A and B are shown apart, each in its own frame.
Chain A
Amino acid sequence: MVAVLVGNHYEVLGIDARATPEQVERAYRFCLEMYGDASVAIYSLLDPDEQRRARSRVQEAYEVLRDPFRRHDYDASQGFTRPGAPMPSLPRPAAGPVPVRVPPPPPPRLAAPQVLEPPVDGAALRRFREQRGISLKDIAARSKIGVRYLEYIEADRHALLPAPVYLRGFLQEYARATGLEPQRTAEAYMSRLRRASERQ
C-alpha cells in the first residue's frame, strides 16, 4: 500500500508553516492539478483510489489552512508558532465560553434564482454580481472559495481554473451567492469553456 499523503496539513500542501494565504492558495491549486483526474504527472504512480484519497487529503488541509481561525487553532494544536503571522482580524475573547461563529448573512432573498442569457462568461457573471452590489469578498466569505479563484472565473483565466469537478462546485457556489440558478449557470459557463479549449 502506498503511503498516499502523510504529514500535517502544511506538508500535504508542500508549504511551510509561515506560508501566506496567497501561498496556501497557490499550493492548493498546484496539488489539485497534480492529483486531478486529468493529471499527467502522477500517471501510473497512484491508482485511481489512491489519487482520490490524495485529493481529499489536500482538500481537508486546504479547508483548515485557508480559514484564519481554523488555521490559528490548528497551529496552536500542533505547536506551530508563526512569528510575524497576522492574527485573525477579529478579536477573540480571551476566556469564557467557546465563541459560536456566526455565519455570514445570506444574500437578500430574491423571488427566484435568475438565469443569464448566453454567453455566460466571466464578464456576464461579473456584471450581474455588480448590479446586485455583491463583492467578491462577500461571495468568498459565504462560499469559502478563495477570492483569487473568483477573480479567475470572472476574468476567464481558463488556464488557472481548477479541474472541472472543482470548478463546477465553485461556479454553483458563486451562483448561489449572487442569486443565480446554480446548475444552469455552472453548465453554461463550463460548456463555453469546453468549446474554447476545443478550439485551441
Chain B
Amino acid sequence: MMEAVPAVLPASAARQRRQVWSVGGGKGGIGKSLITAALGYQLARVGRKVVLVDADLGGANLHTCLGLAGPSLTLGDFICRRADRIEDVMVETGVPGLRLISGASDFLGAANIKYAQKVRVLNRIRALDVDIILMDLGAGTSFNIIDFFLVSDVGILTVVPEPTSIENGYRFIKSALYRRLRGAATNGTVRTIVDSALDHKNPLGIRTPLDLLAAVEREDPASVPVLKQQLTSFHPRFVVNQVRDPSDVSIGHQLVTACARHLGVKATYAGYVPFDDSVWRCVRQRRLFASAMPDCPSAQKVRELARGLMQGESLALTW
C-alpha cells in the first residue's frame, strides 16, 4: 500500500532545503576547482541560488576559474575578523544566482584555522539565504579539509584515472571515515583503536574500516552499533575527471565496487568528465569552459553531473 501524498506540498517542504556540497579529492591538480566552478554554474543556470566557497585557503584560485580578479575581502578576512559579516566577503560572479566567497588571502595563517573558527565559518555560511553552498576543499587530507567534507550533505570525491590520484582518493576516504568514527567513539578503548588504525603499520593489523570494526568487536562489542551507523551513513560520491576512453569510465564503477567490498563504504558514482582540450584552453583565457563553450563534451557531462546530484541519482552498474 502506498501512502496518500497531498497534492500540494506545504510551503516549508516545497522550499528546497539548504544544502552544503563539497568537492575534495586528496590529490592536487585533478580538476577540483574547475568542477566546483562548473557545477556551480550549471546549478545557477537552472535557477538554484548558489554560493561557491573557496575553502582551499592555502591555494585559493576559484575566482580565477570564474574569470574574476581576486576580491579585496575574502574568507580569510572573515576568519580573522577583519570582516564582521560573511555577506561582506561574498561577491557577485556575473552569473545570475551564482556568488562567490573567495579564499584568496595574503594571510597565510588562514590555512591552519582552529576548530572553533571552522564552526563559526560553517554556521555563518549555513545561515546564508541560498539553496546550495558549494565548497572547493583543495588538495590533501588535513583536518580542515576533512571536517568540511564530513559536515557536507553531499561529499564529492574527485579522482583522475591514475594510480597516484586513486591512492590519494582511498586515503581521503579512510582519513575522513576514521575522523568520523573517532568523533563517535564513546570511550577511550575505541578511541585508541581508531587512533592506531591511522598508522598503516599498526600492531592490530587494521588496514580498512572493516578490520577496525572487527577489532572493536573484540575489545568493546557494545560500541559496534554506533560505529556501524557512522560507517553506513558515510556516502562519498565519486567523480572521475579527465576520462579518455570507455575503460576510464568503468573505473568509477570499479571504485564503487571496491569501496563496498574492501572498505565496507557505500560510495556512489556521480558521474565523469572527459579530458577535453576546451577545458585547459578556457583556463588559459581565464574563462570557465562551462559558460564559454557550453557545447563541449566536458560542459555537457558537468550538466549531467549537476542534474544527477540534484536528483540524488548516480550511475548504476548494469550488466
Which of chain B's residues 249-307 have a Cβ closer than 8 Å to chain A? 250-251, 253-255, 257-258, 261-263
Q: Are B170 and A30 in contact (CB under 8 A)?
A: no
B10 to chain A: which residues have CB within 8 Å? Answer: none
Give CA–CA (A39, B251) in the complex, Å: 9
Contact check, A42 vs B258: say whether CB atoms are below 8 A apart. Answer: yes
CB-based contact A45/B170 at 8 Å = yes
Find chain B residues with CB under 8 A from A3 CB: 210, 262
Mark B307-319 against chain A: 1 for CB-CB distance below 8 A, else 0.
0000000000101
In the bound complex, what is the Cα–Cα distance between A41 and B240 (angstroms)? 11
Q: Would B166 and A34 count as touching, CB distance under 8 A?
A: no
Q: How many residues of B contact A (CB 8 A)?
A: 27
Contact A43 B210, CB 8 Å, known A23-B319, A26-B319: no
Asked if A186 is at the interface (CB within 8 A of a chain B CB), the reply is no
The B-contacting residues of A in range 27-48, CB under 8 angstroms, are 27, 30, 33-34, 39-46
A27 with B255, Cβ < 8 A, contacts A44-B167, A44-B170, A159-B247 known: no
| A5 proximal to B (CB < 8 A) | yes
By a CB distance below 8 angstroms, the chain B residues around A4 are 262
> A5, B170: Cβ atoms under 8 Å?
no
Residue of B nearest to A43 (CB): B163
**Interface flag for B207 (CB, 8 Å):** yes
Chain A residues positioned under 8 Å from B167 (CB to CB): 43-44
Interface size class, chain A: 20 to 34
Describe A's contact surface by its main secondary structure.
Answer: loop
CB pair A159 B166 closer than 8 Å: no
Q: Are A34 and B257 in contact (CB under 8 A)?
A: yes
For the complex, what is the distance from the CA of A43 to the CA of B253, rounded to whole Å?
14
Give Cα distance in the complex from A18 to B261, angstroms: 21
Contact of A2 among B166, B211, B246 (CB under 8 A): B211
Cα(A4)–Cα(B317), bound, Å: 21
Q: Is the CB of A2 within 8 A of B319?
A: no
Q: Which chain A residues have a beta carbon within 8 Å of chain B's beta carbons?
A: 1-5, 14-15, 19, 22-23, 26-27, 30, 33-34, 39-46, 159
Q: Name 11 A/B residue pairs within 8 A (Cβ), A-sorted.
A: A2-B208, A14-B317, A33-B247, A34-B258, A40-B161, A40-B251, A41-B258, A43-B163, A43-B167, A44-B170, A46-B262
**A-binding residues in B (CB < 8 A):** 161-163, 166-167, 170-171, 205, 207-208, 210-211, 245-247, 250-251, 253-255, 257-258, 261-263, 317, 319
What 4 pairs across the A-B complex have the smallest Cβ distances?
A41-B254, A23-B319, A44-B167, A43-B163
